[in-house]
Structures are given as C-alpha cells and as structure tokens.
C-alpha cells in the first residue's frame, strides 16, 4: 500500500531482489492509477460539497445561492485540518504519541512524504493482533488522502495544466495567422475551422476552443465558395461575428458569472492576443466589421459576448491566467 501511494515509510522495504523488482513494476502501474483515482474521487467529493452548499444556501434563504471558489476553498481547508486533527487524536491514543507527534505523523503521511520516523501499526504486533485498529488505519490513510486530493484538485490542478493550455492557444494563433497570410478572406478562417476534423495529436477540448477562437480571429465571412469545406459553407455568413467574439473568449467564466453587465465595455479591450493580430485583421478585405477590440460594434458584441462566453465551457481560468500572469 505504501508503494502505490508513493508514501514510502521505509519501515518495511523489500529485501529480496524479487521483491524489489516486483515493487518497481507495481509502482509503475500503481502510482498513476492511484493518482487518477484520488483526483477522480476528489472531484466527485468537491461536486457533492458544492451541491450541498448550494442547497444549504437556498435553505438558509441567501440571496446569492451560487457557491464561490472562496467558499469551496475554505471548506476544503477546514476539512483538511479536521482530518488531520481526527487522525492525530486517534493515533495519539493508539500509538501512545503526543497529540503534536501524532498530528505530525498524519501530516507527513497524508502529504505522501512519509519519513518513517513515526509509523503506525508498529507497536505490539498490531498488524496481527489488532484487526480493528489496522482497518481504521488503512481507512484513515485512504480517506485522508482523498480529502487532501480533493483539496489539491480544487486548488492546484488548474495550475498544472496552465502551460499546456497556453501552448495550445499559441499554436492555434500561429496556425490562424499563417493561414490568414496564405488564404486571404474567408478561406483562412474556414480552413482553420475545418481544422476540427483533423485534430492535433494532443486530443483535448482546449484545441477546439483555440480553434474556434482562432477561427474567430480570421474574421471574414465572405468565403462562400468553399466547396471542399463543408463547415465553411454553413458558417460563412456568421463567421465575421466570430472575429468580434474571439476577444471575449478570454474572459473568465467566473467573472462572467457575477459581473456580466460590466463585462462588455471592459472585454472589448482586454484581449491581448487580438492586439497582436490587429494588423492582420485590418489587412483582411472583409473585416469591415473589424475586431471587437476596436469597439466598432458594441451592441453586436454585447450579445455576442454572452454567446461567446458560453463558448468557454471547459477552461474557466483561461483568460484570467493570461491577464494576470
């Protein structure tokens, strides 16, 4: 168990060579499996807590029943602290450690550091003689890791995917720019749009987001002649709106949730990506509507923004990250 959680107390480590070899293969498969399992379970727990909190807010008659990130983080933090305290109380009793030492043990265990200076189930042959305590220890460790995992899923996981998403977005923009340079009106964007059926090697929804965004940047709707591009035929008319919409894609979903009326005037100038592409747009004959960033069609944009905002389902922190880092 300690290997697959990469917690490695070392109180018992394989002595035989066969044990060491099996240990390595066991870890190779077990660690990713366990990582994914804990994150999966943690996400389910977060969803449940969010739902419960939402219901609680409704019951208590709050005006705003939306559960904010701050709520979730506080609850997560308090759960972690309580988990540690419960474990500390239990182990200090069973293992005859002081509360502080037991707390230290729980912390080192649940962060998977696992020094091994304190290890449970090592006194009085507890592993053989005290099955209930053994069961409690195992359940505690797994539950505790789930709680910590849920908290990490809430707070840290988004940062781990940041680079990859920025990279995808950059790739989309590069592709868009190069296609715009080659193809001129309409086809560039549609061609880029047709990128969808030919997915990149990294299969992620973000590329779809980037694609549509890049498609938006291409702008012009004049390309009606794309016989070879089925998608283009369908969306040619509305694609010029896409260019206006694109800037707004970088709006944070959370911000939108609470400040929609304020978004429109601000959003029109926040897209740093389209600042870069401004000259590309102006070079396009059909971008008479212009990029939204140039504030030429505020009313169209206002409706588009909400529509566009809805286009950012999976990456809430997308624009926030760009703007703030």
**Cα(65)–Cα(58) distance, integer angstroms:** 6
**Cα(224)–Cα(298) distance, integer angstroms:** 26
Read out DSSP for 170-190? HHHHHHHHHHHHHH-TTHHHH
Binding mask 23-52 toward other proteins (x if CB under 8 A, else -) reads xx-xx-xxxxxxxxx-xxx-xx--x-----
Shortest distance in whole angstroms from residue 208 CB to other proteins: 4
Which 110-149 positions form the footprint of other proteins (CB under 8 A)?
111-117
Which 57-96 positions form the footprint of other proteins (CB under 8 A)?
none
Q: Spell out the residues 6+ positions from residue 76 whose beta carbon is closer than 8 angstroms to its own.
A: 46, 150, 151, 154, 155
Which 213-242 positions form the footprint of other proteins (CB under 8 A)?
213, 215-216, 227, 230-231, 233-239, 241-242
Shortest distance in whole angstroms from residue 305 CB to other proteins: 8
Tokens of 95: 């293992």
Pure H helices in the chain: 17-59, 69-94, 99-110, 126-129, 131-155, 157-160, 162-183, 187-193, 205-218, 230-249, 253-267, 272-276, 278-283, 298-309, 318-324
Sole window of 129-137, 180-188, 256-264, 287-295 interacting with other proteins (rule: CB under 8 A): 256-264
Shortest distance in whole angstroms from residue 310 CB to other proteins: 4
Task: Answer yes or no whether residue 155 interacts with other proteins by CB under 8 A.
Answer: yes
Helix (H) or strand (E) holding 200: none
Q: Are 220 and 284 in contact (CB under 8 A)?
A: yes
Which 266-295 positions form the footprint of other proteins (CB under 8 A)?
none
Q: Are 24 and 16 in contact (CB under 8 A)?
A: no
Task: Answer yes or no whether residue 298 interacts with other proteins by CB under 8 A.
Answer: no
Closest of 213, 314, 319, 325 to residue 266, by C-alpha: 319
- For tokens 């499996």, what's the residue? 33
Of 181 and 224, which CB lies nearer to other proteins in the complex structure? Answer: 224
Shortest distance in whole angstroms from residue 113 CB to other proteins: 4
Shortest distance in whole angstroms from residue 51 CB to other proteins: 11
Shortest distance in whole angstroms from residue 302 CB to other proteins: 7
Q: Are 274 and 177 in contact (CB under 8 A)?
A: no
Which 162-201 positions form the footprint of other proteins (CB under 8 A)?
162-164, 167, 193, 196-197, 199, 201
Shortest distance in whole angstroms from residue 24 CB to other proteins: 5
Of 90 and 300, which CB lies nearer to other proteins in the complex structure? Answer: 300
**Cα(50)–Cα(255) distance, integer angstroms:** 18
Of 24 and 56, which CB lies nearer to other proteins in the complex structure? Answer: 24
Of 35 and 90, which CB lies nearer to other proteins in the complex structure? Answer: 35
Of 153 and 277, which CB lies nearer to other proteins in the complex structure? Answer: 153
Q: Which of 65, 122, 130, 204 binds other proteins (CB under 8 A)?
A: 204
Of 47 and 82, which CB lies nearer to other proteins in the complex structure? Answer: 47
The full length of the chain comes to 325
Q: Which of 53, 86, 90, 260 binds other proteins (CB under 8 A)?
A: 260
Q: Which of 75, 150, 209, 293 binds other proteins (CB under 8 A)?
A: 209
Read out DSSP for 216-243? HHH-----TT-TT-HHHHHHHHHHHHHH
Of 78 and 238, which CB lies nearer to other proteins in the complex structure? Answer: 238
What distances in angstroms separate CA 18 from CA 4, 24, 26, 314, one per listed residue?
17, 10, 12, 45
């Amino acid at each position: 168990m300690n290997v697959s959680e990469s917690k490695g107390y070392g109180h018992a480590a394989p002595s035989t060579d066969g044990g060491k070899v099996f240990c390595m293969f066991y870890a190779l498969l077990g660690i990713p499996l366990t990582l994914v399992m804990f994150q999966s379970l943690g996400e389910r727990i977060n969803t449940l807590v969010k739902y419960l909190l939402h219901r609680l807010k409704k019951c208590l008659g709050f005006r705003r029943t939306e559960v904010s990130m701050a709520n979730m983080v506080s609850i997560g933090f308090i759960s972690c602290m309580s988990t540690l305290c419960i474990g500390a109380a239990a182990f200090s009793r069973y293992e005859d450690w002081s509360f502080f030492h037991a707390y230290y043990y729980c912390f080192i265990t649940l962060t998977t550091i696992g020094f091994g200076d304190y290890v449970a189930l090592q006194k009085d042959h507890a592993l053989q003689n005290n099955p209930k305590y053994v069961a409690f220890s195992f359940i505690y460790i797994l539950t505790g890791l789930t709680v910590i995992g849920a908290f990490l899923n809430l707070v840290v996981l988004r940062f781990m995917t940041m680079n990859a998403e920025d990279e995808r977005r950059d790739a989309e923009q590069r592709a868009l720019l190069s296609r715009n340079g080659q193809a001129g009106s309409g086809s560039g964007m549609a061609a880029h749009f047709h990128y969808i059926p030919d997915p990149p090697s990294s299969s992620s929804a973000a590329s779809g987001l980037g694609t549509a965004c890049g498609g938006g940047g291409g702008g012009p709707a004049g390309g009606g002649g794309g016989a070879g591009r089925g998608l283009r035929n369908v969306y040619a008319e509305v694609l010029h709106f896409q260019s206006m919409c694109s800037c707004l894609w970088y709006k944070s979903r959370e911000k939108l949730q609470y400040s929609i009326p304020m978004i429109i005037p601000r959003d029109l100038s926040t897209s740093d990506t389209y600042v870069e592409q401004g000259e590309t747009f102006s070079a396009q004959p059909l971008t008479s509507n212009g990029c939204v960033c140039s504030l030429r069609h505020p009313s169209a944009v206002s409706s588009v923004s909400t529509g566009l905002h809805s286009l950012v389902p999976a990456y809430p922190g997308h624009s926030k990250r760009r703007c703030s880092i």
